[in-house]
Structure 1
Amino acid sequence: MHKVRGIHHITAMAGHPQRNLEFYTGVLGLRLVKVTVNFDDPETYHFYYGDGLGQPGTILTFFPWQRALAGRAGVHQVAIISLAIPLESLGYWMHRLMEKGVGYEGPQRREILGPHGLEEVRVLTLRDPDGIVVELVAASGVPAIQHWAGAPVPEECAVRGLFAAQMWVLRAEPSVRLLEGLGYRVLGQVDAITYLGPSEEEPSLGRIEVRETDQFMAAKGGVGTVHHVAFRVPDDETQQALREQLQRQGVRVTAVQDRQYFRSVYFREPGGVLFEIATDTPGFTHDESFEQLGTSLRLPAWLEPVRAQIMQKLPAIPYATPLPAQTPGQVSAASSEE
C-alpha cells in the first residue's frame, strides 16, 4: 500500500522578512537551509528553515510579504504549528524565551494520544512576530536530528522537528477518512480533537490533529496564517500512486509541480485545508553543499536570466554564514532522547 510518511513541511505567510528570520533562527534556533523565491511570485522571498540538513519532517517555510494584509486563523485551515523539543529542555526554553523577550503561556501539562496510548507532555504556547500560534511540545522519545556547528541552541535542547499540525474544520469525519486513505491512523479522540499519526513503522512526530469546531469564523488567508501542510513520500512512484488514488475518489489534484528541492501535487481536503504531497528527493543539497546551505539566493534555471531584476526588487537580508567542513551524515546519539 502506498502511503505518506508524515509531514514534509508546513508553509505559512509572514510579513517583514527580517523579523521572520530573527525569530525562527535567532529565537527558535532553526537553521536557514534555503533562500529562494516564490516561483509563482518571484519578487517575494521563500525561506526554508529546518534542522542542520533540512531533512523532511523538520521544515517550516515562509513567504514574507511586507505589504500584504493580515490574515485570520479559522476553520478550513491549519491553525496551530507544534514543534517537538526534548522533555529535559523545558527549563532551557522557558529561560530562553524570557531572555529573548518572547511572551508565552505555560508550561501546560497536557495528555495527548500518541502511537502507544496516552502521553503526558508539557507545552509552551507562543506566537511568532506575525501572530501564528507555535507550540513547543516537550516530550520524551523525540528522535535524533542533524545538528550543525555554530547553532544558537545547544544540541541537547534543539527543536527536533514538526510534532503536529492542528487543523480546524466544521466536520472532522470526512477529513479523517481522507487522511486514513493517505496512510495516517487514528490514535483516538479527546473532546473535539481527533489525533492521527503516521504508520507504525514511522517516528512519533508528524502528527495531525483534526479539531471539529463551529466556534470560529472561516479563515482568511494573509500574513500570519498557514498556507498549507505538505506530507512526505519517498519517491515519484508513491506520489503518483496517491495522486491517482485521490483522483479516483473525486478529489481534484494538480499536476506535478517541480519545486527544485522536491516535487509536489496539491489538493484541498474535504474540510477546505490545502494539502500537498511532496517527495523527499532531491533535497536541499541539490544546489548547495551542506556547509553552504542558506548562504545565498538560489534560483531555478528559468529565473536565472532575470536574477539582477529579481534582486533589485527583494529587500536586503543577512544570509546564513558558511559552516566549516564537516560530515552531514553523522547524527550524534545524544540527539535521541530515551
Structure 2
Amino acid sequence: MNIKGIHHVSSLTANAEKNLDFYTGILGMRLVKKTVNQDNTAYYHLFYGDEDGNPGTELTFFEIPNMAKKHPGTNSISSISLRVKSDDALIFWQNRFEKLGVNYQPITKRFGHAILPFSDSEGHKMALISDQLNNGVPGGKVWTRWDIPEQYGIVGLGPVTLTVKYLEPTIQVLTDVMGFRKIGSFQVDDAPVREVHVLDSGAGGNGSQIHVEQRKDLPDERQGRGSVHHVAFRVENSEELKKAIEEIKNEGFKTSGFVDRYYFHSLYFSEPNGILYEIATDGPGFSLDEKQDRLGEQLSLPTFLEPKRSEIESKLKPLRTPLYRNGQKEELPY
C-alpha cells in the first residue's frame, strides 16, 4: 500500500463558533472549507489548513452541539501535533499562548524534536512540533493573512499518537497491511513510565509518523467534545485507493468501500483496537468549487447536496472568522 503520509485528522467540537475562533484567530490556520457533515447536514464540518488546503495540512472538526465532554482513555487517538519550521517558532507560540490564555505545558523533546504541548478549550490534546531537524514529507504554505509572522506559522500536521490496549495488533496492521516502517521508540516519563513506538511511511519525517503506546491500565475512551474522531492517510489517486480497498478486504477487514467525499475520495475501516482509519486521495482538492483566494468564505456543498442549499442554510448559525491583532479580537466579514 503506497501511503504517502498523514492526509488529515478529524475531531469533534460542540461549538463551531468557538472552534473557529481558536483555530483561525489564535492558531492562524486558514479556514479552507466551510461545509456540512455529509451524514448530518444540520451541522457544520470545518476544515482548517495551510494557504492552499494541501493534503497533510488539514485539521477538520465535526460540530455536534450539546455533546458531552470526552472521557480520555485507551483505544483512542490520544493526541495530534502541528508542524512549525523551527525551535524558535515554539518560543513565539509559548509567548502567544501565555498572552491569549491558552493552556500549554513547557517546551520539551520528543524523538529528537522540540515540542510545545497545548490544548484548546474543549480539551483537544495537541502539540506544536519543530521541523528544524526534520527531513521527509514537506510542509505546506503558511497562511499569512493573520498576525502570525510567516517564519512562525503552522505548516501542516505532525505525528499522531494512538493509545491502545493491545499493542501488537495495531503495529501489525500498520506495518504488514499498510506498509508503515518501524523506525524507533522513545520513553514517556509520566507515571507510569511507558515506551512509545514510532512508525513512518512514504518519504518519512514528521508529516508521516504514527506514535503508538500501550495502556492496559486505562478504560476505553468515551468520545465527546475534544476527541479525535479519526485519522486519514494519503494515497496519490483513486487508482491507489481502489488497490487499498482490495488489500484491506483481503485481510478480512470490513470497510466502507469507495466513498466520494467530493473534495477527495475515501475508504474507512477500524483497526483491531477499534480506532477508525481513513485512506484518502490527494485530490480533487478544495479549489474544486471555490477559487484559491476565496477558500472558506462561503458555505460549500458537494453537488449532490446543492439542491438542498436553502433548507441546509436555514438550519445553520452564520459564522464569522475572528482575527487577533496584538491580543485584540476582530472579525472578518465571513
Residue 196 (structure 2) aligned to one of 161, 171, 193: 193
SS of match in other structure, 2:68: coil
SS of match in other structure, 2:103: coil
Residues 9, 230 of structure 2: 8 Å contact kept: yes
Trace 1:39-118 onto structure 2 (pairs within 5 A): 39-85=38-84, 86-108=86-108, 110-112=109-111
Residues 245, 258 of structure 2: 8 Å contact kept: no
Q: Which moved more, 1:38-47 or 1:158-167?
A: 158-167
- The CA distance in 1 between the partners of 2:65 and 2:125, in whole Å, is 19
**CA separation of 1:107 and 1:157: change in aligned 2, threshold 3 A:** same
SS of match in other structure, 2:168: helix
- The CA distance in 2 between the partners of 1:248 and 1:132, in whole Å, is 35
Query: What's 1:220 paired with?
Result: 222
Q: Which moved more, 1:204-213 or 1:289-298?
A: 204-213
User: How far apart are 1:184 and its partner, in Å?
Assistant: 1.2
User: How far apart are 1:145 and its partner, in Å?
Assistant: 2.2
- The CA distance in 2 between the partners of 1:61 and 1:91, in whole Å, is 26
User: How far apart are 1:151 and its partner, in Å?
Assistant: 3.0
Residues 14, 65 of structure 1: 8 Å contact kept: yes
Residue 172 (structure 1) aligned to one of 153, 167, 176: 167
Q: Which amino acid aligns with 2:222?
A: K
Query: What's 2:140 paired with?
Result: 145
Q: Deviations over 1:194-226 (max 9, x none)?
A: 101113x34542310111111221011221101
User: How far apart are 1:312 and its partner, in Å?
Assistant: 1.5
Query: What's 2:149 paired with?
Result: 154
Q: Deviations over 1:61-120 (max 9, x none)?
A: 001222222222222210101111222212111111111111211112x241xxxxxx2x
Matched, 1:23 2:22: yes
Query: What's 1:300 paired with?
Result: 302
Residue 180 (structure 2) aligned to one of 158, 161, 184: 184
**CA separation of 1:149 and 1:83: change in aligned 2, threshold 3 A:** closer
Residues 264, 278 of structure 1: 8 Å contact kept: yes
Aligned length: 311
Q: Identity, % of aligned pairs? A: 35
Residues 77, 168 of structure 1: 8 Å contact kept: yes
Q: Deviations over 1:3-62 (max 9, x none)?
A: 211110000000111110011111111100000000000001000000000111110000
Q: Deviations over 1:108-152 (max 9, x none)?
A: 2x241xxxxxx2x22221111211111112241454422344133
Residues 232, 278 of structure 1: 8 Å contact kept: yes
Q: Which amino acid aligns with 1:82?
A: S
What's the RMSD between the two structures over aligned residues? 1.6
How does the TM-score come out when normalised to structure 2? 0.89
- Structure 2 unaligned residues grouped into runs of 5+: 187-193, 324-334
User: How far apart are 1:306 and its partner, in Å?
Assistant: 1.9
Q: Which amino acid aligns with 1:31?
A: R
Query: What's 1:284 paired with?
Result: 286
- The CA distance in 1 between the partners of 2:72 and 2:52, in whole Å, is 30
SS of match in other structure, 1:281: strand
